[in-house]
Structures are given as C-alpha cells and as structure tokens.
Structure 1
C-alpha cells in the first residue's frame, strides 16, 4: 500500500522532470557574424540586390565570349542597324555592335567603381584612425587637409588632369586615382569620430601597456571594431564612383577614346535617343540595374550591421 501511495507522486514528478528538462537546456548562442549573415539573408531587398549585381557581373564576364563582334570592330553594312540576330542590341552610327560596346563599357565601369571604392575607403580608414589616435599636430594637419580638399573644385581638377592624360595607356589608372583622392574626406571624418570613441577602450589601453606599436593597435584593434562603417562605406562607394565616372565621361572628361565606359556610351547614344533609342537604352539599362543592385546591397549591409535598424530588428 505504501508503494502504491507513492507511485502516483513519483510518476508525476518524473513526468514533470521530463517536461522541464528540454526547456532547461541552454540555447546555442550565435556569433556576431552569424547574426549579421542571418539578418542580411532575411532582407528581401538585399537578396534582390545580390541577384541583380550577380547578373550584371556575369554579363560583364561572359559577354565577350558570347558576343559576335568585338567592341572596336566595324560592320560597314550595319550603320544605325536596329536589334537583330546579327547585332543583338543593334549597331551605332559608326557600325559598331552595341552589345559588345555595352559589355566593354560595363567592364570598365565595374573596374573603376570597385577600385575607387577600395582605395577611398582605405585612405579614409587610415587617415581618420591615425588622426584620432595620435591627435595633436597630426590631427590638426589631417583636418586641415580634409577641409582643403572638401572646398577644392574636384570635378574641374579631375576633368583637367584626365583630359591631359588623353588616350594614354595609363589614363584609366590615373582616372581611378583622381576619383579616389577626391572622394575619401567625409568618410575620414566619420572614422575619426568613431576612433575617438574607442581609443580609450580597455583593449586599446591594454595593448599600449604591452608596448604594442601604434600602427599595430590601429590595424588590429581599432579598425576591426569600426569595420561596420567601412563595409557600408565601401559598398555605397561603388555606386558613387560609377556615377562620378559616368557623369565625367558623359561630358567628355572621363574615360577617353579608344576606351569606352557606360558614361561614354550614354553620351554617344543620347544624341539619337529618340530616333535610334537602342544605342542609348542598352547602356542606360545596364547602368540603372547595377546602381540599384549596389544600393540595395548597401542598404542590406547597413540594416544587418545596425541592430537598431528597422529591417535588421526583424531577424
């Protein structure tokens, strides 16, 4: 009888322990990288941006292998030819294939945009972090240079120098360098402000007491902790650089002949945009898709890295 009296209680206790046991198990914590990746992939806008940019990149990479014509080749029987089986996107007034020229222009614009974004983000990160870390006279000189470059008419200087370079072999490299030199200042100010907020952190102080060299502290401890801003800045910098290149090339100050870019193609096609629209629509459409995709990716990266953002908080 005693065993029977105890058995219902024992059975109930056993059942309760079984129910509580799974809830008591510790949940697996996600790392910051996993959380950022999860937020990014749950953002539909960023997924659309990735797909769009991947299509643009594949078009630039595979285009030369599927094109029937070279971008500099002339078809003397196809002046102002509309889209056809021979010329998929039509031909220009000079008989050049629009498809091949759009692919080549996209390749140049992508190279310029990615290179400029990388260079100007790197310059902004190094100058801004060093100015805040060393402070004193270095900070004053850095701020003076930043303020000076901000008031300099960069558009005119880039136009003058790129025009002098002309069709030289290194004109694209010089153009990239000029765009990067005049595009890092605002980002450097933001990096400086963020560095001021972390330079007295415990991990930085500990590294100083351990006699770690200043540049090592900047590259190993400070910049990684403000990498969120740098990633966003580099992503959005691609779109900004492509727009700058397009605008300068449109007015004849950017990429020079015989090279082509999306800006030069749009400038060439806008004169006949109403009568022969295929010359203008092809590069303009590719440029629009690329810029929208890059901006979508930049917005997705920003929302994923910023926990307080609206879309990032949905993760």
Structure 2
C-alpha cells in the first residue's frame, strides 16, 4: 500500500497538501503576530498586507489566525469523528459477522434503525443540549450517526473470514473467540479500515462545516471553518479575503483527502487498477 502511494503523483500531492494544512493549523496561530481573538481597531475589514497576511474581518480580527484556529478545530473534530466512527463500526460489524445468531440479528436491527433516522435532524434537535459539553459531545454525536454503512461492510468481511481454514482450526483448538477476532479477523481488515478512516475524515470535516454554517455546530467564541464561512458569506464579493481563505482551506483539504483515498482504493483493490478505473 505504501509503495502504491509513492508511485501515485496525485497521492503524493494529496499527502503534501494534507501535511501543509495540518502544519498551518498547528503552528499558524503561533507564528502570526495576532491571536485569533485579538482585535485591531485600526484595521477593520482591511485587505491582506504585511501586518495582516490574510487581511482582517469586519471587527478587526486577523483572518490568518482565525482561519488557522478554525482549520485546527475542524480537523480535530473530523479526525475524532472518523476514528470513533470507524472503531465503532469495526466493533459492531465484527461482532455481528463472527458471532452470528442473536448478536448478528440485534446489531443488524440497530444498524437498520440508525440508517432510517435522518441524522441531520437528530443533530439539530440535540445540538442545544450538547452545547454545554463542548465540541467533544458534538463530535461524538456526529460519530454516532455515521458508522452504519461501514459496519455493514465489516460484517460482510467478518462473515467471509470466519470460514477461513485457519479460523476454523483455531476455533476447534479451543482458542477463545475474542482472541480469534483479535488475531485472525481484525488484522485482515486493517487496510480497509485505514482507507475508510482516511476518507471519512474529509466527510466529517464537511459535515462539521455544514452544521456549523447552519448554526448547529461549533459555537462562539470558538470558531471552525463552518462558522468562518457562515460569518463571511455576505462579504464574499465586497471583502473576498474573509470568505475565500477559509473556503479555500476546506476545499483543499477535501481534495487532498480524496486524492489519497483514491490511491488507497486502488492499492487495496488491484483489480480496479487492471480494469482501468481512474485514480
């Protein structure tokens, strides 16, 4: 898989963009002379200049520092949601596929229930109750509503793996089920789960930005890419730097993750590459 990524120019470009954005999010607020909360009353809605590299917003806050802080929070939420959702999907899907019986029926029923529940409406309803708990509770709600389809895929893989000769042999030798799952089932899903978590990060960042844009996500005084885009939408034509910098960061991150995700898909499914599926 690593070799396939190194051979793909698109994947290398995506990795470079992801690394650059993560570096900007991590150190951006510290290399700027302005913090995300500082206000320069002498530069209201000022365009980019040596003092404010990305300009300022309508109340004089530095757009460079604000965008770095917003990207930091969006990436943090996206990574948390992707990892938590993937872990829960791996747990539920593996248990359903390997143990079968009532465990499979119960977990499959739970997945079906979650699939018919409109996630956006649920988040809109529960968002006010989650505000006092901060972004962790909000990210947990996003993760709880985004694991079902992955769990179905993991369940199908577990159903196939449980019939492999080495798994059957381990079962007849009296190896405990949890040990079999840990040693013989989950390791064969690692590549799929890594690829899924990578792509899911971009989807989680977009979901966070959309909900924050609608006012149901990250709440002031904290910022994310969604809140920055929402606050600057009306100024997109008159003061474009306020809108296009956070929007550009969001688009670059999603594009970069998709480039890496396509390369991972081809690395994990060589038949797609032989069939001529574009990367």
TM-based fold match above 0.5: yes
Contact 1:89 1:278 in 2 (8 A): yes
Residue pairs, 1:1-315, within 5 angstroms: 36-166=1-131, 168=132, 170-310=133-273
Report the Cα distance in structure 2 between the residues aligned to 1:132 and 1:70, rounded to whole angstroms. 50
Moved more, 64-73 or 210-219: 210-219
3-state secondary structure, aligned to 2:34: coil
Q: Distance in 2 between matches of 1:232 and 1:38?
A: 15
* Alpha-carbon distance change, 286 to 250 in structure 1, aligned in 2, over 3 angstroms: same
Could you tell which deviates more after superposition, 293-302 or 156-165?
156-165
Distance (whole Å) between structure 1 residues aligned to residue 180 and residue 124 of structure 2: 39
User: Aligned equivalents of 1:154 and 1:216: distance in 2?
Assistant: 35
Post-superposition CA distance 1:218-261 (Å, at most 9, x none): 12211111222212211110011001001000000011111100
* Structure 1 pair 60–312 and aligned structure 2 pair: CA distance change class (3 A): farther
- Structure 2 gaps of 5+ residues are none
Q: Which 4+ stretches in 1 moved above 3 angstroms?
A: none
Describe the shift of the 1:135–1:237 C-alpha distance in structure 2 as closer, same or farther (beyond 3 A): same
- Whole-angstrom distance in 2 between the partners of 1:230 and 1:100: 34
Q: How many residues align?
A: 277
- CA offset digits 1:154-175 (Å, max 9, x no partner): 1111122223333x3x310011
Aligned counterparts of 1:122 and 1:76: Cα–Cα separation in 2: 47
Q: Deviations over 1:245-283 (max 9, x none)?
A: 010000000111111000000001111111111100110
- Root mean square deviation of aligned Cα: 1.6
TM-score, with structure 1 as normaliser: 0.85
Largest Rg, 1 or 2: 1
User: Structure 1 residues 312, 105: CA separation in 2 closer, same or farther (over 3 Å shift)?
Assistant: farther
